[in-house]
């Protein structure tokens, strides 16, 4: 019996719900993330389970829970009502693979609140609840324990109206971001994927406080800022949470690329012997769903930098118009031991 069927049965009565929760407690507490996806043509709720191999995440399996139909849907005779956290919500038993929920009688903010409370009550608080929205006009539901992930044209469309008590874990922008945001808390988002102008890259390098960033830049910028970025990390002055940072430059007018030697020398980076191969760096995405793989693309490099405060190591790869920075959860001594063991046949690179 699927989790979608168990959820549907729990709507029957309070006693049925409590019996399911009691008998299926181990199963319900052993799930991945619960994902609400709205603002796209395929609105749905699903469970995201990450499959691991030798301790490393390799792929995601999505288990459908609910389909979501908006106000454009006409309620038919075969739809039935369920009182969900004080709101009457219409459901339909689908012939495909999941029940369909219709929110024609309430707005999306109320829907997200109702869904979160209902699913949190049934599946428990041991799992992460993510809300992925693909929209430029967003009304943020004031709900606790909800991870917010946004794909939109630009953060400027909603950032000024963002409530102070709401935090965003992931943001991906579609449009070219021409100017930096005045509110520096934008750079506290755990995972950023942006298409930007040159001056914005410099602003991100200077202010980023999150865990991961993947930046595509339409023009070149002052490449010495990359050296400053490495030096500040090395001295432990900023970016203590940073795990992965990538800048890909798409400037057809720049024929020289990033000055690799100058940047590495300025930051006084270290280098493995040419006969040794460093381990491939790859970490889980902050929000693993919605991407083809649950991890950042693997890369390796002979060049690395050591943070003075705790001797943590970060790989640095500079190749033509691409800069990649990946932090290891190990000190230099451990890193060098791994580098001695790794061989070229273990490498997997993506630029």
**Res 20 pLDDT > 80:** yes
Any domain includes 83: yes
Give the H or E element holding residue 166: none
Query: What secondary structure letter does DSSP report for 284?
Result: B
Structural domain includes residue 84: yes
Domain membership flag for residue 85: yes
Domain that holds residue 31: 1-139
Least confident of 17-26, 133-142, 318-327: 133-142
| Residues in CB range of 303: below 8 A, 6 or more apart | 264, 269, 270, 271, 272, 315, 316, 317, 318
Quickly state the pLDDT bin for 342 (edges 50, 70, 90): low
Task: Determine contact, residues 297/307, Cβ cutoff 8 Å.
Answer: no
- In a domain, residue 294? The reply is no
**Integer CA distances (angstroms), 31 to 15, 56, 109, 231, 306, in order:** 23, 17, 25, 41, 37
- Average pLDDT across the chain, whole number: 83
Q: Would you say 105 and 88 are in contact if contact means Cβ atoms under 8 Å apart?
A: yes
Q: How far apart are CA 44 and CA 249, in angstroms?
A: 35
Backbone angles phi, psi at 187, to 5 degrees: -80, 5
Q: Which has more confidence, 333 or 350?
A: 333
Q: What is the mean pLDDT of residues 5-17?
A: 88
Tell me, yes or no, whether 3 lies in a domain.
yes
Report yes or no on 242 lying in a domain.
no
pLDDT at residue number 348 = 39
At a CB cut-off of 8 Å and minimum separation 6, what does 195 contact?
A: 173, 174, 175, 176, 177, 216, 218
Whether 102 is covered by a domain: the verdict is: yes
Q: Is residue 255 part of a domain?
A: no
Residue in 133, 135, 131 with CA at minimum distance from that of residue 145: 131
**pLDDT given for residue 73 in this prediction:** 58
Tally of domains within the chain: 1
As a whole number, mean pLDDT of residues 29-52 equals 85
| Bridge partner residues of 222 (DSSP) | none
**C-beta of residue 89 within 8 angstroms of C-beta of residue 122:** no
Half-sphere exposure of 141 toward its Cβ, with a 13 Å CA cutoff?
A: 24
């Amino acid at each position: 019996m699927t989790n979608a069927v168990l959820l549907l049965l729990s709507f029957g009565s309070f006693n049925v719900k409590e019996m399911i929760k009691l008998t299926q407690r181990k199963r319900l507490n052993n799930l991945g993330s619960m994902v609400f996806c709205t603002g796209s043509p395929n609105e749905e709720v699903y469970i995201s389970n990450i499959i691991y191999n030798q301790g490393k995440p390799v792929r995601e399996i999505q288990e459908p829970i609910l389909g979501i139909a908006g106000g454009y849907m006409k309620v038919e005779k075969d739809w039935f009502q369920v009182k969900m956290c004080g709101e009457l919500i219409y459901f339909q038993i689908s012939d495909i693979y999941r029940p369909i929920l219709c929110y024609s009688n309430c707005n999306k903010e109320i829907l997200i609140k109702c869904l979160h409370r209902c699913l949190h009550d049934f599946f428990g608080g041991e799992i992460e609840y993510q809300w992925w929205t693909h929209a430029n006009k967003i009304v943020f539901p004031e709900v606790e324990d909800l991870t917010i992930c946004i794909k939109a044209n630009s953060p400027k469309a909603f950032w000024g109206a963002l409530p102070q008590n709401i935090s965003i874990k992931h943001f991906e922008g579609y449009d070219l971001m021409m100017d930096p945001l005045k509110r520096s808390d934008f750079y506290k988002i755990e995972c950023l994927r942006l298409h930007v102008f040159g001056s914005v890259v410099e602003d991100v390098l200077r202010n980023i406080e999150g865990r991961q960033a993947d930046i595509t830049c339409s023009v070149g910028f002052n490449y010495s800022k990359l050296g400053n970025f490495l030096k500040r990390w090395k001295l432990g002055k900023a970016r203590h949470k940073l795990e992965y940072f990538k800048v890909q430059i798409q400037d057809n007018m720049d024929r020289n690329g990033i000055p690799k030697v100058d940047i590495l020398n300025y930051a006084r980076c270290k280098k493995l012997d040419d006969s040794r191969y460093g381990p491939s760096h790859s970490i889980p995405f902050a929000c693993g769903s919605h991407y083809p793989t649950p991890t950042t693309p693997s890369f390796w490099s002979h060049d690395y930098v050591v943070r003075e405060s705790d001797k943590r190591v970060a790989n640095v790869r500079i190749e033509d118009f691409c800069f990649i920075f990946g932090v290891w959860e190990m000190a230099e001594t451990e890193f060098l031991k791994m580098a001695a063991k790794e061989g070229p046949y273990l490498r997997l690179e993506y630029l």
